[in-house]
């Protein structure tokens, strides 16, 4: 039995889409912890979750999402390297996470519209 590559890609995209709220929550959770006080584990969580989203978003041509996540991952990498997260950068990250949240919600709405029209079509 041969698996259609388009079906496999559609399933991966569906998994990606379904996992976006959890990915965003991991980024937000790491940032919230960093705002309360720097620690390596929170910096790693923020960096790794942001960095993972970059690649997945780029794979599915969600370029705005990938770029926003890349900016956050860059901050996270810097914080891990320097062992500190300065307040101005935390503020920048908070704004970036808020933008990413909006981008993810728009992506999810578009994905839902696409799924609904596929079912109707």
Q: Which domains does the chain have, with CATH numbers?
A: 12-114 (1.20.120.160)
Quick one: which of 84, 54, 55 has its CA closest to 72?
54
Q: What is the pLDDT of residues 6-65, one digit of tens each?
A: 788 889 999 999 999 999 999 999 999 999 999 999 999 999 999 999 999 999 999 999
pTM to 2 decimals?
0.88
Q: Is the pLDDT of residue 2 over 60?
A: no
User: By three-state DSSP, how is residue 112 classified?
Assistant: helix
* C-beta separation of 77 from 116 below 8 A: no
SS3 breakdown of the chain: % helix, strand, coil, rounded to 5? 90, 0, 10
């Amino acid at each position: 039995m041969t698996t259609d590559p388009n079906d496999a890609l559609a399933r991966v995209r569906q998994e990606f889409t379904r996992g976006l709220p959890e990915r965003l929550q991991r980024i937000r959770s790491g940032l919230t912890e960093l705002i309360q006080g720097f620690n390596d584990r929170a910096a790693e969580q923020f960096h790794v979750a942001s960095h993972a989203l970059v690649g997945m978003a780029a794979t599915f041509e969600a370029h705005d999402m990938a770029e926003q996540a890349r900016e956050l991952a860059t901050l996270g990498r810097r914080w891990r390297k320097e062992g500190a997260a300065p307040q101005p950068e935390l503020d920048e990250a908070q704004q970036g996470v808020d933008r990413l949240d909006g981008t993810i919600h728009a992506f999810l709405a578009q994905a839902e519209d696409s799924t609904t029209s596929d079912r109707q079509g």
